[in-house]
Amino acid sequence: MPSSPTPATAPISCSPSPPLHLHLTARRQTLAPPMWRRLPARRLASALLSSSAPLPHPLHRSLLLLLPAASQRLAPSQTLPRFASSSAAVAAESVSSEEVDELHHAIGEIARGDPSVSAPAPAAGQEGHRRRSGRGKHSAEAMAVPAAGQEGHRRRSGRGKHSAEAMAVHGVGYHKYAMLRRRQIQIETEAWEQAAEEYRELLADMCQQKLAPNLPYVKSLFLGWFEPLRDQIIAEQELVGERGARASHARYFNMLPADMMAVITMHKLMGLLMTGSGDGSVRVIQAACQIGEAIEHEVRIHKFLEKTKKKSNKEMDNEEEGGDSDIAKEQERLRKKVTDLMKKQKIRQVRNIVKKQDNSKPWGQDAHAKVGSRLIELMIETAYIQPPASQSADGPPDIRPAFTHEMRTVAREQQKSSRRYGVIKCDPLVRQGLDRTAKHMVIPYMPMLIPPISWTGYDKGAHLFLPSYVMRTHGARQQRDAVRRAPREQMQSVFEALNTLGSTKWRVNKRVLSIVDRIWSSGGRLADLVDRTDVALPEKPDTEDEDKLKKWRWTLRAAKKENSERHSQRCDVELKLAVARKMKDEDGFYYPHNLDFRGRAYPMHPYLNHLGSDLCRGVLEFAEGRPLGKSGLRWLKIHLANLYAGGVDKLSYDGRIAFTENHLEDIFDSADRPLEGKRWWLGAEDPFQCLAVCINLTEALRSPSPETMISHIPVHQDGSCNGLQHYAALGRDKLGAIAVNLVAGEKPADVYTGIATRVVEIMKNDALKDPATDPDAARARLLLDQVDRKLVKQTVMTSVYGVTYVGAREQIKRRLKERDMICDDSELFSASCYAAKVTLTALGEMFQAARSIMNWLGDCAKVIACENEPVRWTTPLGLPVVQPYRKLGRHLIKTSLQVLTLQRETDKVMVKRQRTAFPPNFVHSLDGSHMMMTAVACKRQGLNFAVVGEL
C-alpha cells in the first residue's frame, strides 16, 4: 500500500451505488492495478472493514461503493475505516463474514480489471472465486457452491435460498467451508509474511556483518554491471597509457587488472550503500576513500603474488647456485600462507604479511580519493537497472541509472551557516529488489485446509495467494516458455491429473503420532529414527607415534561426519513432526501437486507428505474412510505382509494372507502395547506403517462385523522397478517383461532377487580361484554371505538412470557399511568396487534389450545436441519437455576481498549432458504420464488415489 495515506476524515457518500461495471470502468485508472495485484483481495476486504490505520485515497470511496451493506452502515459523518496491517480476520464485531466475503469477491474482480462481476453463478461443482491472477474459467474442484465472496452468493438483503445440494461443499456445510477458507487465507498470508520477515532479518544481519554483497539479488545485479564497468575501466587504462600521467589518478590505474578493479568497486560501493544511512546513500568522500584504499591493498597483494610465483625447476637451480635458495623457500612459504588466509577471508592478516614484504610508499588519502572517485564515476556511467516486466509492460522499458550523484546541504545551527556535501544514492528499485526477493524465499507451503484451486494455467492453481507454478523449472527459460505457450486443450489432461492428486483428503493418524512422539522424546533409536545424541569424539592419544595419530585423525573425522549426518536427520524428523503436530487436530487437509520438468508429480509441501519416509507414511492416512468389505479385509492382510517384507512380500497373495493370520497374536500385541509388549512391529521393514495397519486390523477383527469396519489406511500397490518395466515394454522384451511382472504369474517375480542370485553365481565362480593370483577371489569369499536383494536393489533401480560404476560402488558401499561386517575402510572400499563390478555385469546380462534401447536413445540425443539444439519431446499426456542442459558462461574474478563468480546461461547446449540424461528423463516422463493417467482413471471409478513416484 502507499506509504503516505491521506487524512481519514473525508465523509462517506451513502448515495446508491452506480452499476458495478460502470463504476469499475470509471475507476480502473485510479485504482492503481499493480498495487491491487500485489495484495491478496482477502486482506483488502479485511482492511476495509477493520480499524487500525487510514486507507489511502483513492481506494476508500471505490471500496465502499462495492459494498452497499457497509456503505449504508456508516453515516456520512463517520470517518473512514482504517487499514489493518496484520493478516488477522476482521476485527470489528459488527462486521459480518458475508460483508467481508462479498467485498472480497468484488475486489478480486477489480484486481484483474474485469468488469463482469455480475456474471451468473457457476454450476455446482465449480469453484466460485477466481484467483487474483486468474483469467480463465472457474475451478472445477474447490467447492460445490460459489465460494465465500462470490457474486452468486446470497447478499444480506436476500435474493433467495441456496438449494440443499448447493449447500454441501465437499462433504462439509457451507459455513464450515467458509470458516476453513478464512483460516487457509490466514495461514498462507502468515507463511508469506514469516518468510519475508526471516529474509529481512537475514538481510539486516548480513548488512551488519558487511556481507550484503553476497546476497543472491545483489549478485544478480553484479552480473549485469560487471562487463560494462570492466570494459570502461579497460578503456580508461588505455587512455591513461596514451596521455601519460597527466590525470591525477593515472599512475595508479594500470597497477591492477580491470576485472579485479570492477569487482572491488561494485562490492565496496554496494556494501557501503546497504550499511550506511537508511535511505540507500553514502557520502562521496567516504565511498571514494574506502574504494581507493581497497584498490591499494589489492595492488600490494597482487604484486606480492606475482613476485612470489612458483618458479620453474631451472630457475630454482640457478637460485641455489647463487645462494638464494633460502630466500626463495621463504617467499614460497609466505605465498602459500597468504593464499590460505585469502581462502579463509582473513584479509587483515594478509595485509599485515604483505605490508612487511612491500617497501613501496603508501598512496595516501589524496590518491585513494582520486582513484575511488574516478571508479565511482565510471560505475555511475555504466550501471543501470530496469523495473520488473510487470511494472513496465504498459509502456517503453524504464531503464534508469542504478546510482546517482547529488549534493546535499547540512545546516550548522551554532555557526549559523551551512555546508554542502556530495552523496552517491542508489535507485529505490535496488533496495526494493531486496524486499521483492523475500517473495522468492523458500516459503513453507503447508498442506491446505480446503481443496486446492484447480490448475488452469502455468501460474493459475493450487494455493489461494502463495505463488504457485505448475512446473518447477528452476530458471530453465525454454522449458517455462514451452509450458506457457502450450495450448490449454493440450495441457488439460495434465491439469486434470494434478487436480485429481490434489483433491485427495488426508489426516494425521493420532495413535501412530503419539507412539512416534514417545520414541522421539526417549532419544529415538527405534523404528529407524535417528539417535538424538551425538557420537563421542575420540580423545587425542598421548603419543608421538604417527600411525596412532593418523588413526586417531581418521576416527575423529568419521565421528564428526556421523554427528553432522545425525544433526541433519534430526532436523528432518523435527520438521516432519512439527507439521504433524500442527495438523493432528484437523478433520482433513490436502496436498497441492505440481510437476518437475519431466512431468513427474510431487506434493508442493516438502516435509510431511506421502512420498516421504516410513515415518511420514505411517503418520498419514486418508481422511475419508471406507468400509473394508470382504476384498478390503483381504487386502489389508496382504498390505501388512508387504510392509513386514523380509521376503514375505514375495510370496503369493495366499502366502501373504497366511503370514498375517499366523501372526495375529503379535499383531494384537503390537496394537495394544506397541512399546511395552513384544514389539513385533519393530521387525518390519516399514515399522510405522506396519504399526498403523496392526492397529486398524486389530480394530476390524475385534469388531462384531469386520467387513463393515471403516478403514482409512492407504493400501500400496508397488510397481516392480517401473523403469525396467518401461524399457521392457518399449523393446517388446518378453524375458525382461517376465522379470518385472509385466506378464501375469502365479506369484510375483522379483527382479532384485534375480540380480542378487546371478551376482552370487558369479562370486561363487570367483571364490574358487587362487587368491594369490586373483585378488577378486578373496573379495568374493568375503562377500558371499553379504549378497541379498537389498544390497543390489538401489543399483538395479538406478540402472535406468544409466548409473555409473562410481555411483554403483557408493550405493553398495553404504549398504555394506550399514551392516558393520567389514570394519577396515580400505577393505570396505575394495569390496564395494568388486561388488559394483559384478552387479553391473549381472544387469547387463539380464537386461540386454533395455541397455540397447538406452544406447539408441542416447545416440539420438547426441545427433540432436550436436546441432546445438536441446532434446525436446511431448509426453503421452501432452506435456512439452525441453531438457534444460546448457553451458554457463562464467566470469571468475579472484581478489583478496572475495572470489566472485558471475555466470549466465549461454546459447550452447551441453552435448554430453543432453545425451546421458535423455534416456532416464524420457522414461521418467513416461512413468509420470502413466501414473497421472492412472490417477484420473481411479477418480472416475470413485477411488481415493495417492502416488509415491519412484522408479
Kindly report, residue by residue over 241-294, the tens digit of the pLDDT. 665 555 667 778 888 888 888 888 887 888 787 666 666 788 888 888 888 888
Final residue before a domain boundary, out of 846, 881, 896: 846
Nearest Cα to 258, choosing from 88, 382, 409, 392?
382
As a whole number of angstroms, the distance between CA 431 and CA 712 comes to 51
Residue 925: the pLDDT is 92
Residue 639 and residue 561 share a domain: no
Residue 181: the pLDDT is 85
Residue 223 and residue 329 share a domain: yes
Q: Which domain holds residue 567?
A: 506-590
Distance, CA of 670 to chain centre: 38
Residue 803 is assigned to a structural domain of this protein: yes
Is residue 575 scored above 90 in pLDDT? no
The model's confidence at residue 784, banded by pLDDT at 50, 70 and 90, is confident
> DSSP string spanning 811-824?
HHHHHHHHHT----
Residue 746 is assigned to a structural domain of this protein: yes
Least confident range of 93-102, 243-252, 566-575, 860-869: 93-102
Mean pLDDT on 830-850: 88
Residue 247: the pLDDT is 60
Final residue before a domain boundary, out of 572, 590, 608: 590
The type of residue at 577 is L
As a whole number of angstroms, the distance between CA 87 and CA 190 comes to 7
**CATH code at position 841:** 1.10.150.20
Residue 693 and residue 774 share a domain: no
**Which H or E element spans position 603?**
strand 601-603
**CATH code at position 516:** 1.10.287
Mean pLDDT on 636-665: 90
Residue 835 and residue 783 share a domain: yes
Residue 657 and residue 741 share a domain: no
As a whole number of angstroms, the distance between CA 889 and CA 902 comes to 8
User: Cell for 707?
Assistant: 467387513
Residue 388: the pLDDT is 53
> DSSP string spanning 832-897?
HHHHHHHHHHHHHHH-HHHHHHHHHHHHHHHHHHTTT---EEE-TTS-EEE---EEEEEEEEE-SS
Q: 671-680 as b/e, with b when 16 or more CB fall inside 10 Å?
A: beebeeeebb
Compare 128 and 707 and report the one with higher pLDDT. 707
Residue 299: the pLDDT is 82
Compare 689 and 186 and report the one with higher pLDDT. 689
Residue 908 is assigned to a structural domain of this protein: no
Whether the CB-CB separation of 915 and 858 falls below 8 Å is answered with yes
Residue 331: the pLDDT is 66
Can you give the length of the chain in residues? 951
As a whole number of angstroms, the distance between CA 926 and CA 796 comes to 19
Residue 516: the pLDDT is 95
Residue 537 and residue 443 share a domain: no
Mean pLDDT on 431-441: 54
Cross-strand pairs, 373: none
Residue 330 and residue 214 share a domain: yes
Is residue 657 scored above 90 in pLDDT? yes
- pLDDT tens track for 465-520: 777 889 988 768 888 889 999 999 999 999 999 999 998 899 999 999 999 999 99
Strand order in the sheet with 505-508: 589-590, 505-508, 620-622
Residue 176: the pLDDT is 84
DSSP-derived pairing of the beta strands 453-457 and 589-590: unpaired
Residue 162 is assigned to a structural domain of this protein: no
Residue 1: the pLDDT is 38
Is residue 213 scored above 70 in pLDDT? no
Residue 565 and residue 439 share a domain: no
Alpha helices in 584-662 (DSSP H): 614-619, 629-644, 653-662
Least confident range of 198-207, 601-610, 628-637: 198-207
**Residues whose CB falls within 8 Å of the CB of residue 831, separated by 6 or more in sequence, listed in order:** 779, 782, 783, 816, 822
**Which H or E element spans position 899?**
strand 899-909
Residue 82 is assigned to a structural domain of this protein: no
Residue 550 and residue 658 share a domain: no
For residue 220, CA distances in Å to 282, 369, 430, 481 come to 22, 28, 11, 21
Exposed / middle / buried, residue 310 (Cβ in 10 Å: 0-12, 13-18, 19+): exposed
Whether the CB-CB separation of 184 and 450 falls below 8 Å is answered with yes
**pTM score of the predicted model:** 0.62
Residue 775: the pLDDT is 84
Question: What 3-state class would DSSP assign to 89?
Answer: coil
As a whole number of angstroms, the distance between CA 796 and CA 798 comes to 6
Total domains, the chain: 4
Q: What is the mean pLDDT of the chain?
A: 74
Cross-strand pairs, 554: none
Residue 341 is assigned to a structural domain of this protein: yes
Residue 340: the pLDDT is 66
Is residue 659 scored above 70 in pLDDT? yes
Residue 637 is assigned to a structural domain of this protein: yes
- pLDDT tens track for 389-414: 444 344 555 678 888 888 888 776 66
Final residue before a domain boundary, out of 590, 617, 645: 590
Exposed / middle / buried, residue 18 (Cβ in 10 Å: 0-12, 13-18, 19+): exposed
User: Cell for 320?
Assistant: 641455489
Least confident range of 147-161, 440-454, 584-598, 770-784: 147-161
For residue 354, CA distances in Å to 297, 308, 342, 359, 656 come to 9, 11, 12, 10, 75
Residue 547: the pLDDT is 86
User: Cell for 102?
Assistant: 462479498
**CATH code at position 275:** 1.10.1320.10
Residue 349 and residue 219 share a domain: yes
Residue 512: the pLDDT is 95
Residue 212 and residue 357 share a domain: yes
Report the half-sphere exposure of 440 (CA within 13 A, side-chain side).
Answer: 10
Residue 350 and residue 212 share a domain: yes
